[in-house]
Chains A and B, each alone.
Chain A
Amino acid sequence: MKYIVCLKQTPDTAELPKITPEQALKGNEGVTKVMNPWDEYAVEEGIRLKERFGGETVAMSVGPDEVDEALKSAIAMGCDRAVRLWDEAFADSDYWSMALILAKGIEKDGGADIVLTGKMSVDGNAGAVAHGIACKLGVSLLTQVAKIVEVGDGKITVERLLDEGRETVTAPLPAVISVVKEINEPRYPTFIRIRKASRAQIPVFSAADLGIDPAQVGAAAARVTWTNLVKPEPKKREVVIIEGDTPEEKARKLLEYLIDVEKVL
């Protein structure tokens, strides 16, 4: 069995509030970047799959040099190796192009029985890449996966987390699955693995290596572009203290306030 985890490097969530819409639009956030927190669950599940069913787990990401850091974190957690896909032509690709690049990367690496992704990225928030990869590879897609029940006989059975419950579904392999945080508790890397990961050599594949026509990807090929970004207004909180001599009076005043002023009743 072979598992490929697609992961993204995103701004540290602690620093997300510092980013302005202008910086986000330019793709130049100027903050510390780490592995997308949702992807940590995908990495963890990729490692657990290997532990449960045997095989190899590979981490894959699209991005420049700095992305090696997130890939090394994945190796430190337990992935066997990592692959990076990068070319200047890939810059500013939309989800669809990103899915194409990853699908080509997966094919270049010899394919996979199961491709894992996080539910979405904390910066883009689209959750569309998994769909795109499955589409491009022409394989099963399972989203919102909260548990992998069984893998075998060319099939995978998972529990999907729905708004009002869980459903168990089976699909033929190969499959792309996107996982939710309920699926596991990502492990800390051991120090031995940190030592090994920090010295890992990560191969990089360009558009030419992947057989991608540069016109198919990047800003020019994007079907989706961000035309505007706004930050939500910070939530305003107000405290009203209801005064009164007796509990009954306070309750009456509170009721009047809710009906007349706030009009919530």
Chain B
Amino acid sequence: MHFWFNDEHEMLRNVVREFSEKEIRPKIRELDEKEEFDREILDKMAEMGFLGVCIPARYGGAGMDYIALGIVSEMLEWGDTAFRETISVHVALNSLAILQWGTEEQKQRWLVPQARGEKIACFGLTEPDAGSDVRNMRSRAVRKGDVYILNGEKMWITLADVADHFLVFAKTDPEAGHRGISAFLLERGMKGLKTGTIHGKMGARASNTGFIVMEDVEVPVENRLGEEGEGFKIAMSALDNGRYTVAAGATGVIRACLEESIAYAKQRVAFGRPIAEYQLVQQMIANMQQRLDIATLLTYRAGWMKNQGLRNTRETSLAKWYATEAAFASANEAIQIHGAYGYSNEYNVERYLRNAKGAVIYEGTSQIHTLLQAQYALGYRVDKPLRCELPPYDAEEWSREA
């Protein structure tokens, strides 16, 4: 057993940190204020390989492992949540689902351009009337010969208005509960497919969040991901990867809160001494350090399990639940340490709090993760093997060119 990152991970961490420092941080206050998604930053990310970080080289990716996916998420969200969210939906929720469940033709057609960063992808599960309760979705897919006709609406979809490719879920058999859901790959330009942006979010304001409307969209049968009725399993397995990136990103928020609180506490003087010397301030710093280490260990344990090909639904859920709550609590304390300055957008910490709140809601609310953990502990929930598992990381196989 060992607990260190290898050279590749360290180099990647340094480069992504530098990227966040130089490309994201100088612009973020304005992007956040104006609710603007910065396409230029996305294009640079695409060029460097962010969008295919852990996808095998033969599918157009960088051929790194799942730990690298975590590092990219962590250090991007150290910059801002918006850009980590891009990784969560494009890489983890969409691309990895295709890697896991797609046919070879589907991987060539959808995954390759996504991993190369030529096409942007999103994940449409949530609907206006169905969030946590996925089974209750209303979107319908009706088979007519070689096509499915899709109707329905998806809401709160990250990158909805930016994406070229959409992984959406709809019911093929409304009577069959979660076994009646299927997954489909859609692309912009299909007749009847419309998207829009939702404005007025509390946080993640530099991200694009929107809705997808499907009105009699004709989707060829070969665009169905997995078997008919396998959609729920596909969605849940995709969330195992998405939640991992959310946990890693939250770790980046805690890291930023701690670093900025330390710097501020050392230079802010009250009652004749730097506030860092007061034990009540030290308590908050210590809390953040504790959370950073716990979140890091939980997150990268899940990443390590993915590398090994071990089922990690429980461990990922725990990491996501813990790290996102810990990020919110850390941002709250970071503001406290910054006093009135922390309450204004002159400093980053108020943005961290607004951003961190989103992450305790999406990809499973804290309540849903609490219930999951209890069900595992009590033995009420046991994960069964899937027809297609996420492939374990194999350095040689992943670096093999096409």
Contact = CB atoms under 8 A, between A and B. Distances in A.
Interface in A186-213: 188-192, 194-195, 197-199
Interface stretch (B45-53, B74-82, B240-248, B347-355): B45-53
Contacts of A190: 47-49, 62
A61 interface: no
A191 B6 contact: no
Contacts of B53: 191
Interface string B307-346: 0000000000000000000000000000000000000000
B57 A192 contact: yes
B50 A191 contact: yes
Contacts of B12: 191, 194
A195 B48 contact: no
A73 to B, nearest CB: 7
A81 interface: no
B280 interface: no
A72 interface: yes
Nearest to B57: A192
A73 B49 contact: no
Contacts of A34: 14
B63 A195 contact: yes
A114 interface: no
Contacts of A69: 7, 11
Nearest to A34: B14
A76 interface: yes
Given A190-B49, A191-B48, A198 B63 contact: no
Contacts of B47: 190
Interface in B387-402: 399
B15 interface: yes
Contacts of A188: 15, 18-19, 44, 48
Nearest to A68: B7
Contacts of B11: 69, 72-73, 76, 189, 194, 197-198
Interface in B44-72: 44, 47-50, 52-53, 57, 62-64, 68
Contacts of B383: none
Report which residue of A34, A194, A198 has the largest number of chain B beta carbons within 10 angstroms of its beta carbon: A194
A76 B18 CA distance: 14
A69 B44 CA distance: 24
A72 B399 contact: no
Given A188-B15, A191-B64, A192-B63, A199 B49 contact: no
A194 B64 CA distance: 9
B40 interface: no
B105 interface: no
The 4 closest A-B pairs by CB, nearest first: A191-B49, A191-B62, A198-B8, A198-B7
Interface of A: 34, 69, 72-73, 76, 188-192, 194-195, 197-199
19 contacts: A69-B7, A188-B18, A188-B19, A189-B15, A190-B47, A190-B48, A191-B12, A191-B48, A191-B50, A191-B64, A192-B49, A192-B62, A194-B12, A194-B64, A195-B62, A195-B399, A198-B8, A198-B11, A199-B7
